[in-house]
Amino acid sequence: MATTPNDPTTALPGRPPVADLATWQAARDELLVREKAHTREGDALAAARRRLPMVEFDGTVEVVGSDGPVPFLDLFQGRDELVVYKHMWHDGAPHQGQCEGCTTTAWHLKDAAYLNARGVSYAVLTTGRWDEVAPYVEFMGYTQPWYSVRDLAEPVGGSMGYLTCYLRDGDRAFLTYSTTARGNETVNGSLGLLDMTPYGRGEAWEDKPAGWPEGRRSCWSWRSDADGNATWGPTSRPVPQWTRPGATPVETLGRHGHHD
């Protein structure tokens, strides 16, 4: 049983119990045993991923990016491995109406330098038409390459909202791994940091002690309008990005050639 004091004279409502450093260290050391077991299991899962079979597909199929149509093999940028995020797309939606979960995932990986250093390229794929996607990418300030895979089948196109890995062997291309939902959290370092804090992610589904803040609905990013009022729909966008530099409602609402 964990060593956690419950002294009503020092307890603060809705907060962890207060303890001396030695008591805290004992409880922390006990939790560390579980954390190390979790890490080792993660290593075992990664080893199992490396042993999955792979599926060959036509790497010459064309996707559309900033330079026009290019073969999928170009996304490897001469490297042997490629990670892509498949970003959901709502046709005709204003910029702030695009998928909040996908927006958050893409936002967290703007620099692939460390992937590149290990021989891995990175790109974002989406089913949106390129004439809609291009102004969105510019508006969001994304620095990694985006491509439209509209009307293309798996494993290049198909269902969106996935992290997918590919391997190249010369002119041959292979699908090696794909994950979605909470599997995408690998990219989102903010969630991992929040999991270390006393109040966690602030979402209602989390297991919290009695008296903790209740949390809001399960979602990767809460949404609001430009004034910070909670809302959901085509006039809202992920909350943190309302306040990023240069993103004012007057200048950024609406899709390319259209203003709300």
Predicted confidence at residue 253, as pLDDT, reads: 41
Write out pLDDT tens, residues 197-236.
999 988 888 999 989 988 877 655 667 766 667 676 666 6
Predicted confidence at residue 258, as pLDDT, reads: 38
**For residue 216, what are its two tokens?**
């809001």
Predicted confidence at residue 6, as pLDDT, reads: 55
Q: Count CB atoms within 10 A of the CB of residue 211.
A: 10
Split at pLDDT 50, 70, 90, the class of 259 is: very low
Predicted confidence at residue 179, as pLDDT, reads: 98
Mean pLDDT of 35-43: 98
User: Collapsing DSSP states into helix, strand and coil, what is residue 176?
Assistant: strand
- The rounded distance, in Å, linking the Cα atoms of 167 and 189 is 25
Is residue 2 over pLDDT 80?
A: no
The pTM (predicted TM-score) of the whole model is 0.85
Predicted confidence at residue 120, as pLDDT, reads: 98
Is residue 75 over pLDDT 50?
A: yes
- The rounded distance, in Å, linking the Cα atoms of 230 and 25 is 40
Mean pLDDT of 175-179: 98
For the chain, percent helix, then strand, then coil, each to nearest 5? 30, 20, 50
Write out pLDDT tens, residues 137-168.
988 888 999 999 999 999 999 999 999 999 99
Q: Count CB atoms within 10 A of the CB of residue 107.
A: 19
Q: Count CB atoms within 10 A of the CB of residue 106.
A: 21
Q: Where are the alpha helices (DSSP H) in 130-231?
A: 130-140, 189-196
Write out pLDDT tens, residues 78-121.
999 999 999 999 998 877 778 878 888 888 888 999 999 999 99
Q: What domains does the chain contain, in order, with CATH numbers?
A: 50-184 (3.40.30.10)
Predicted confidence at residue 97, as pLDDT, reads: 76
